[in-house]
Amino acid sequence: MVRKSIYIGIVLGILLLPVTSFAYTVNFDLNQGTSYQDEGTLTYNDTVKLKDLDNNWGPTTTGTVVNSYYATGTATQWFDAISANFDLSGVNLAQIKTVTLMAYIKTGGYSNHGWHHYELYQGAFNAADQDSNPLGHSFDYAKYSNGGWISHEVPLAWVTSNNLDLSLRLWNASVDQVKLQAEVVPEPMSVSLLGLGLLGAVGAFRRKK
């Protein structure tokens, strides 16, 4: 009787656990990635370069600036960009808890190390609208001189459809891979079915005894 109560208690505990306890991570590969240089006058489909972590660095070329720079000027509106598209159809958007854009970068050779930073924008690249509420941070030059991940959480308000476009602007950095990582919670029914299944398994085990 005591053992049966323990089994039932475990199953009921699973049934009553908050759904967020079962959150899991889903990685989305880049669906399409385009590099924009010289204020968008140069455009390259760099999907192959930016899809896998394979030491195949983008951008394809660097416009008027060398040493792996991703920017061509000295002001915010002069950032060049990676226009990244992701297909989120593999999950229910309503079940997404957080979304994070991740990029594996390597710093270039520009002498002013204080200018290493990135900015994240909603939507695909738009050369005429480059200062509209960007999200960004500086990064340590030395830390990324041999490569490393930067990441930034994407506002859920930006995730309105399965077709998600984001723009990542970088100063003095080349990129090996761009991907999206989402924390997803299962539907409540899925959790309930798991608990009921365990309860049924316990019952079948006891009948066999």
Could you write out the DSSP letters of every residue in 91-128?
Answer: S-GGGEEEEEEEEEEEE---S-GGG-EEEEEESS--TT
Q: What is the mean pLDDT of residues 80-102?
A: 94
pTM over 0.85: no
Task: Please indicate whether residue 142 or residue 196 has the higher confidence score (pLDDT).
Answer: 142
Tens of pLDDT along 111-136?
777 767 788 889 998 877 655 556 77
Query: How confident is residue 63, by pLDDT bands cut at 50, 70 and 90?
Result: low
**DSSP 3-state assignment of 80?**
coil
Q: What is the average per-residue pLDDT within 136-159?
A: 90
Whether the predicted pLDDT of 21 surpasses 80: no
- Give pLDDT tens digits for 22-54: 789 999 999 999 998 877 778 899 999 999 999
> Mean pLDDT over residues 72-78, rounded?
48
Q: Rounded to an integer, what distance in angstroms lies between the CA atom of residue 183 and that of residue 154?
A: 12
Residue 209 has pLDDT above 60, yes or no: no
Interatomic CA distance for residues 203 and 209, integer angstroms: 10
Q: Confirm if 143 and 22 have CB atoms less than 8 A apart.
A: no
Higher pLDDT, 157 or 196: 157
Which comes out higher in pLDDT, residue 48 or 198?
A: 48
Average pLDDT over residues 100-115: 82
Tokens of 83: 């226009």
Name which of 2-16, 23-37, 59-73, 168-182 the model is least confident about: 2-16
108 with 173: CB under 8 angstroms?
yes
Has residue 168 got a pLDDT over 80?
A: yes
pLDDT at 183: 96
Banded model confidence at residue 161, pLDDT cuts 50, 70, 90: very high
pLDDT at 128: 72
Q: What is the pLDDT of residue 193?
A: 45
- Taking all residues of the chain, what is their mean pLDDT, rounded to a whole number? 78
